[in-house]
A = this chain, B = another copy of it.
Amino acid sequence: MAEPLRIALAGLGTVGAGVIRLIETNAALIARRAGRPLEIVAISARDRSKKRSVDLSRYAWEDDMVILGEKPEVDVVVELVGGADGPALACARATIEAGKALVTANKAMIAHHGLELATKAEAAKVALKFEAAVAGGIPVIKGLREGAAANAFERVYGILNGTCNFILSTMEDTGRDFADVLAEAQARGYAEADPAFDIEGTDAAHKLAILAAIAFGAKLDFAAVDTAGISRLRAADIAQADSLGYVIRLIGMAEPGHAADGPRLFQRVQPHLVPFDHPLAHVDGATNAVVAEGNFSGRLLFQGAGAGDGPTASAVVADLIDIARGEIGAPFSVPVAELETLPPALTGNRTGRAYIRFIVADRPGVLAELTAAMRDAGVSIESLIQKGRSEAGGEVMVAMVTHEGPESAVSEALRLLDGSPSLIRPPLVMQILGA
């Protein structure tokens, strides 16, 4: 058997423990598939004294994770510390600068510093891999970067945050309201004590920006992701969507855009109405799923567990096996120097159908005011549902679905209504996912 691939592990939380357990449990078959064993030669974490679920006594402890890559007995460092900056970034930079490969599950760090790290890795001719940073155990980075590499992508989109999907599908199944289900998700450990990162769409936006860079050969641009979360959704929105033939899912979507000055890239995370007959409508619970539409492959779907120690460890170790086999290609599929700078697409140029929900005062003339604004902005209404006085405090909910039309017209209609005393809350707009 060939020399082992010698691994240092930085970060020993649930995912770090999962990686250790995986490498121990599947050691023999991994060695056969990789052509050489994977061997953990050093471990590090912020707090050595913390009680952990795996026995660490057989592994050499290193207090300073930043120097792991400098150790001569280390071939690759696995960074599982988390956080876009701080120790994780210091560890990643030092590892690559020491000429060692880096594997990470850290989506925030890749979304913010991925180009810098990839540039360094390409210069040092070492691998930088982050399959676990997007969609947990689903090999979707490999799917786009290699499996579907022959295609120009027309659109890449999916369900990228398991916490949001758990909340939405539980709201759907139980009719309960957002705050109530979020509290349950927190109690069950599916959502963080500070859930903003998940429910406001930031986590999904990190993953989308990474996928978009790979799929469209574009310089990663997290700041350009137009991001909205799910915290404003109500049980009544889910019920309305259901009555119209849709479920609501938080969708991250990227596709090429065009403007007079050249190509652009559209990136958005937003709750969408998904038709019952779309494969994403059947993705429930904490599951993730990514759709890639290639110009030759047609629609490809990758689905699986989006988080958890086992699935995340599966993706981390797949990267290690790739490295053991000698696969050290460009992290973003093409070298960083060849990635295009694509400015954000103007959403107003897009066309589609939208769901618009108003919470309005319960008094005469409000419907006329809303529909007049739509008419004046050129928005054509396909259906309109006004619920009775079930909402508290004299509020009424009015939900519309528009015909296909420019997003700019919907924005204009909302601008016309801006400041109207009839609107008790800001309107909520969700796009309808087109086939």
Contact = CB atoms under 8 A, between A and B. Distances in A.
Interface of A: 18, 22, 25-26, 29-30, 32-35, 131, 137-139, 142-143, 145-152, 217, 279, 282, 289, 294-305, 308, 310-311, 313-318, 320-322, 325-327, 329-330, 333-334, 338
Given A22-B296, A282-B282, A299-B305, A321 B146 contact: yes
B301 A305 contact: no
Number of copies: 2
A11 to B, nearest CB: 17
A17 to B, nearest CB: 12
Contacts of A315: 150, 297
B305 A303 contact: no
Given A217-B29, A338-B32, A149 B299 contact: no
A429 to B, nearest CB: 28
B314 A294 contact: yes
A138 B300 contact: yes
A32 B325 CA distance: 22
Nearest to A308: B298
A289 B317 CA distance: 24
Given A25-B295, A297-B310, A297-B315, 14 more contacts: A25-B152, A25-B296, A26-B151, A30-B150, A138-B300, A139-B146, A139-B148, A139-B300, A143-B147, A149-B317, A149-B321, A150-B315, A298-B304, A298-B311
B26 A152 contact: yes
Contacts of A150: 22, 26, 30, 313-318, 320-321
A299 B310 contact: no
Contacts of A321: 146, 149-150
A279 B298 contact: no
B148 A298 contact: no
A305 B313 contact: no
B297 A314 contact: yes
B146 A143 contact: no
A131 B150 CA distance: 13
A279 B303 contact: yes
B334 A33 contact: yes
11 contacts: A29-B152, A29-B217, A32-B334, A34-B149, A35-B329, A139-B142, A139-B146, A296-B313, A296-B314, A299-B304, A303-B303
